[in-house]
Amino acid sequence: MCILAGNGYLAAQDAIDFWSDNSLSENTLLAEKQRADSLIGLISENYFNQGSYAAGIVQELYKIAYRTKDANLFVQCVYWDALVEYSQHNDQNLLANRIDSLMQIPALTENQHNLLLLNYASALSNLAYGNFPSAFRRAVEAYRKAVELDDRRLIVETATTLGNIGPYIQDYELSRYYYQIALQQCPPNTQKSYQIKINYSRLQFLEEKYDSAEMTIQSVLPNIIQSRDSSMLGVCYLNLGSYIAAQGERDSAYRLYMKGIDVLHNTDNNNIKLILLGNIGNYFRYKENYKEAIRYYSKAREIALEDSNVNIYASVAYELSILFAQQGLTDSSYLYLQEYNSLNSRIQQPQTLDSYKNYVDIVMELSENQIQLSKQAANLKAKQLVIITVTAAGIIVALFLLWLVAMERRRSMRQTVLLKEIENKELIDQLGHEQEIKKLQEEKMDQKIREITSYSLLLANKNNLLKEIEDLASKAEEETGNQNCLQIKHLVGESLHMDGDYWQQFVGLFTQVNPHFFDNLKQKFPDLTANEIKLCAYIRIGMSSKQIAQMLNLSPESVNKNRYRLRKKLGMEKDEALDKLIASL
């Protein structure tokens, strides 16, 4: 096993000698320490705005730790390294395994503050990589240690990170709880307090409290503009645009996205830029300005490729596939869909949400047990003091009896803890199997959804082509009177209306993804016709009016009229969204 030290590697068995053997003079050590403090200040100022620059400074800090053989400084290097990695959302798990190895070296962990920093660094690295169970476990351990050491800054940092993990496991109450702790411990009207509120607004957005999320961002936006923190301002514009877009104000959201791109011009935080570029591409695709959409998607794709950001790269490939499908360019759509599938197979996605929640419950239960045991120990000490104070004569007997009681309790507690560890290990193993099963089910479900969409779009393109052939045949018949044209029209007309087999195949695929959709629809609205049921199914998979028109061999205007009549049959109000109602069935 080896550990990183500056630009070299150090064998673990030599670690103790390495950190204790120092041959530098006192003056040299003082100069190196001053230089290290200066570099840490630079990293702290630049890790979010200038990620590459900060990463280079971290490497310089590693070199100083290597030269001075300073274990405490080395742990700080690891901490800042993980913070830079997390801030830039690196998809490669570069540090997590290394940190686990470092935590086995006593020379690095005998200092409790170092143990706190290593746990927190591991949490950040795992969170950047999407390994949420490990991130949560390490963050809880770091938070407990920060509370024990009364380190207010790291209480705020670890509580904020635990709040950030909450949405990934859909435990919004947990997230809200830790955000409140972070805000209580954080000095008001500081950049950190603004950052916590921005993160909290994201929680409100995920809970579909769009107005509240927007108000939270607006409350801190003037302060962030005044602070001239470009990256944080870019995050504000990105989030605010998303909240407004969710309320249907796409043009206003687009203007905010462009502001975000503008303020990030001189920063080195590509992750925010990538998300903004993708959102702008989505806006132009919605506006059917495909040329501009491709331009922004291509920019995002280029940056994601340079940064090896597989998540964003895969997302852009999928959006390009949909865009070309909307234009009827089936070959290009298929190529990008293949690229998306290839990239997606390389992404290590988070495990199942239910398993995360069970894991959280286990950790929180263990935490409560530890608190209870601490209270019991405190009560026992208080009783001892009372006995000693009340009667000196019986002190020996009392202490002896208490010692026996304590030994029995300790033995009982050890047995309980041992049993609990065995149960937890069995439960974690079971959760691992359930996670794998759930992951396979989700992948299979995603594949079915893609099959339905691709199958429907290909048929829509076929119907569109046949309709064009039919129109050309009609025109040729009128101009030439050729009877072959009439026969062509007849054959094309039959093909356009031979949709029985397609519909049965579509229903079979659709029911695998939405097993109760048709039953619920017929039960709640028994008067719907067969064509209206088809219309509902196409709306359910997200097809546009133009695509539905091609599927049903109708004009887009006719489809819009059918949608209007369908709304009346469903008894909908004017302000209700047809898509949302159908999605709820």
| Per-residue model confidence (pLDDT) at position 53 | 80
| Per-residue model confidence (pLDDT) at position 222 | 92
Least trusted range by pLDDT, from 146-160, 287-301, 369-383, 448-462: 369-383
- Going by C-beta distance under 8 Å and a sequence separation of 6 or more, which residues neighbour residue 4? 62, 98
Give the bridge partners for 268, in sequence order.
50
Please name which of 77, 83, 68, 57 lies closest in space to residue 3, comparing C-alpha atoms: 77
Q: How many helices and strands, by DSSP H and E, does the chain display?
A: 27, 2
Output the six-digit token pair for 119.
């746990």
Report the distance separating Cα 476 and Cα 489, nearest Å.
10
DSSP symbols for 298-334: HHHHHHHHHHT-HHHHHHHHHHHHHHHHHTT-HHHHH
| Per-residue model confidence (pLDDT) at position 16 | 41
Report the distance separating Cα 436 and Cα 439, nearest Å.
5
576: three-class secondary structure by DSSP: coil
Q: What is the mean pLDDT of residues 127-141?
A: 83
Report the distance separating Cα 336 and Cα 301, nearest Å.
12
Report the distance separating Cα 178 and Cα 143, nearest Å.
10
Which is higher by pLDDT, 402 or 83? 83
Confidence of residue 366 (pLDDT cuts 50, 70, 90): very low
Has residue 395 got a pLDDT over 90?
no
Q: What is the mean pLDDT of residues 253-265?
A: 88
Q: Residue 548: exposed, middle, or buried by beta-carbon count in 10 A (0-12, 13-18, 19+)?
A: buried
Report the distance separating Cα 139 and Cα 345, nearest Å.
28
Confidence of residue 156 (pLDDT cuts 50, 70, 90): very high
Q: Classify residue 187 as left (phi > 0), alpha (psi -120 to 50) or beta.
A: beta
Confidence of residue 54 (pLDDT cuts 50, 70, 90): confident
Report the distance separating Cα 225 and Cα 228, nearest Å.
5
| Per-residue model confidence (pLDDT) at position 397 | 60
Has residue 456 got a pLDDT over 80?
no
Q: What is the mean pLDDT of residues 35-47?
A: 81
Give the bridge partners for 11, in sequence order.
2
C-beta separation of 264 from 274 below 8 A: no
- DSSP annotation of 88 reads T
Report the distance separating Cα 87 and Cα 92, nearest Å.
13
| Per-residue model confidence (pLDDT) at position 128 | 77
C-beta separation of 47 from 265 below 8 A: no
Confidence of residue 340 (pLDDT cuts 50, 70, 90): confident
Which is higher by pLDDT, 104 or 340? 104
Domains and CATH numbers, the chain: 1-186 (1.25.40.10), 288-347 (no CATH), 452-583 (no CATH)
Has residue 313 got a pLDDT over 50?
yes
Confidence of residue 215 (pLDDT cuts 50, 70, 90): very high
| Assessment of whether the complete model's pTM goes beyond 0.85 | no
Q: What is the mean pLDDT of residues 319-339?
A: 79
DSSP symbols for 95-135: SHHHHHHHTT-HHHHSSHHHHHHHHHHHHHHHHHHT-HHHH
Residue type, 384: Q
Please name which of 76, 89, 79, 77 lies closest in space to residue 48, comparing C-alpha atoms: 89
Q: How many CA atoms, within 13 angstroms, populate the side-chain half-sphere of residue 109? A: 13
Q: What is the mean pLDDT of residues 114-139?
A: 84
Scored b (16 or more CB within 10 A) or e, 160-174 reads bbbbbbbbbbebeeb
Handedness of CA 125, 126, 132, 136 (dihedral sign): negative
| Per-residue model confidence (pLDDT) at position 111 | 87
End-to-end CA distance of the chain: 55
Which is higher by pLDDT, 111 or 473? 111
Which of the residue ranges 214-218, 359-363, 497-501 has the most confident prediction, judged by mean pLDDT?
214-218
Q: Residue 142: exposed, middle, or buried by beta-carbon count in 10 A (0-12, 13-18, 19+)?
A: buried
188: three-class secondary structure by DSSP: coil
Confidence of residue 75 (pLDDT cuts 50, 70, 90): confident
Q: What is the pLDDT of residues 222-246, one digit of tens each?
A: 998 898 888 888 888 889 888 888 8
What are the DSSP E strand ranges found in 12-93?
Answer: none
Please name which of 453, 469, 478 lies closest in space to residue 548, comparing C-alpha atoms: 453
Which is higher by pLDDT, 161 or 2? 161
Report the distance separating Cα 357 and Cα 197, nearest Å.
24
Q: What is the mean pLDDT of residues 519-532?
A: 88
